[in-house]
Amino acid sequence: RHNINITAIAQGASERNISFVIDAAQQARALNIIHQAFFEIRKRLSLVVIGVGNIGSTLLGQLRAQRSHLLARGFDVTVVGLANSKKFVLNPRGIDLARWRQRLAASRRRMIPQVLAREISKLELTDAAIVDCTAAESVVAAYPDFVRANLHIITPNKRANVLPRSEYAALMELLQSRQKYFLDEANVGAGLPIMSTIRDLIASGDVIKRIEGIFSGTLSYLFNNFDGSVPFSALVKDAWRRGLTEPDPRDDLSGQDVARKLLILARQAGAQLDIADVDVETLVPPKLAGGPFSERFFGALARFDDKMAARLKRARSHDAVLRYVGSLAGGRARARIQEFRWDHPIAMTKGSDNIIAFNTKRYSQTPLVIQGPGAGPDVTAMGVFSDILKLLHYLPH
Ligand SMILES: NC(=O)c1ccc[n+]([C@@H]2O[C@H](COP(=O)([O-])OP(=O)(O)OC[C@H]3O[C@@H](n4cnc5c(N)ncnc54)[C@H](OP(=O)(O)O)[C@@H]3O)[C@@H](O)[C@H]2O)c1
């Protein structure tokens, strides 16, 4: 489990001692592991948090606030490392979470993920994980290095789960061969228990027939508020001004974020798909898709308002509303605007809610529905925290 190779082992005739031979380089870690197994009352977990923006910093606040609660339940969780895009800091005795900003700011170590992995492995930690709270490809590219450095991975970052199929399979194989966990609850629906639900359904023998829902908080907000009183482009501009969209709103309107979440669920359900296999309706007119973003985008988008207004009118004539939904059925993944009658649960969402309905062999009459905010620092960090708790439970005492 800890990847320490035992060259020779012998048990004394008295049955009171066991001797073994290992590589001298692994001596310190082996001693720590034995000490922990025999004498520690608490389960210990060391964390290195990479990315201290919205989610990372909120998570650090939650870990600090819950420390005594965790200790009382027998869990000793220590943050031994932190990184942003520029620097990293490591301290095997733990970083004071009341002063983590100063500790990171004072560090002179340049953040290079592979170097960080090497430095962590020198700490000879027993049970440890990286918590990747970035959206960085370069951090994901170093996941194999972190796994080889004996670290589990916990992350809200979707990038690993949408890697091309062969790279994704290689990473999953490496994790399995090294007996390391990859925990990704906050990849879909932030703190909502979507990933654990699909895994539990499948592991318990249920069969997924259809998954359908609203996976984007931004698109949820836009369509929940699109009642015809304000043109669609003005609604997008207002959401952008209020910080409810990505800095470039085309990242939301393109539907790609929904496509990524569908791909993640599809792979969990066993479908061999890649991102190009997801059929996506973009809300960005082709002429406006390229080039750098500027506020002039909204003026150009207004030229397409009539089209959106006509779609809304048509939906209303069917007693329905418009929603941007993702669906997965029969191995096919689609993201697009659809009409839903007023009394349908998907039509009744509010604010920036996500809603996901699982139609399965067991949940066939009424679907299993999960609904709630699908973005925001507090709920997303909670999703990551729930993965830390899961890891603590998985680790043997
Ligand atoms: N925000 C949400 O509601 C939400 C919901 C679900 C999932 N997520 C996911 O959570 C992750 C974090 O989101 P966020 O909102 O916290 O983003 P954010 O506020 O932009 O923070 C990103 C952090 O990552 C760091 N970073 C960027 N590139 C890095 C690199 N190469 N190496 C090390 N650190 C790097 C940044 O460092 P600097 O400070 O130096 O720039 C920053 O500290 C993303 O994958 C996002 O998709 C977010």
Positive or negative CA dihedral for 223, 226, 232, 234?
A: negative
pLDDT of residue 97: 98
Asked if 173 and 279 sit in the same domain, the reply is no
pLDDT, tens digit, 9 for 90 and up, residues 337-376: 999 999 999 999 999 999 999 999 999 999 999 999 988 8
Ligand 1 centroid–CA 246 distance in Å is 13
Instruction: Please indicate whether residue 371, judged by its CB atom, sits closer than 6 Å to ligand 1.
Output: no
Question: Residue 301 carries which DSSP code?
Answer: H
Q: Which one of 261, 313, 361, 390 is the catalytic residue?
A: 261
pLDDT, tens digit, 9 for 90 and up, residues 287-311: 999 999 999 999 999 999 999 999 9
Instruction: Please indicate whether residue 53, judged by its CB atom, sits closer than 6 Å to ligand 1.
Output: yes
pLDDT of residue 257: 95
The answer to whether 307 is a known catalytic residue is no
Asked if 198 and 169 sit in the same domain, the reply is no
pLDDT of residue 307: 97
pLDDT of residue 336: 98
pLDDT, tens digit, 9 for 90 and up, residues 161-207: 999 999 999 999 999 999 999 999 999 999 999 999 999 999 999 99
Asked if 249 and 336 sit in the same domain, the reply is yes
pLDDT of residue 109: 98
Count the domains in the chain.
3
Q: For the chain, report the end-to-end CA distance as a whole number of angstroms.
A: 13
Report yes or no: 147 and 172 within 8 Å, Cβ to Cβ. no
Ligand 1 centroid–CA 263 distance in Å is 21
Asked if 35 and 103 sit in the same domain, the reply is no
Which residues does the chain have with pLDDT short of 70?
397
Q: Which atom of ligand 1 is the closest one to the Cα of 157?
A: 45
Instruction: Please indicate whether residue 54, judged by its CB atom, sits closer than 6 Å to ligand 1.
Output: yes
What span, in angstroms and rounded, lies between the C-alpha atoms of 59 and 387? Answer: 12
Asked if 199 and 327 sit in the same domain, the reply is yes
pLDDT of residue 127: 94
Instruction: Please indicate whether residue 51, judged by its CB atom, sits closer than 6 Å to ligand 1.
Output: yes
What is the chain's length? 397
pLDDT of residue 234: 98
Which pair of structure tokens corresponds to residue 50?
């990479």
CATH of the domain at 99: 3.40.50.720
Q: Which atom of ligand 1 is the closest one to the Cα of 54?
A: 16
Reduced to 3 states (helix: H, G, I; strand: E, B; else coil), residue 388 is helix
- What ranges make up the beta strands (E) of 84-121? 87-90, 109-110
Asked if 186 and 211 sit in the same domain, the reply is no
Asked if 111 and 157 sit in the same domain, the reply is yes
Instruction: Please indicate whether residue 244, judged by its CB atom, sits closer than 6 Å to ligand 1.
Output: no
**Parent domain of 231:** 194-373
Q: Which of 54, 264, 385 to mutate to test the pocket of ligand 1 (most atoms within 8 A of CB)?
A: 54
pLDDT of residue 25: 85
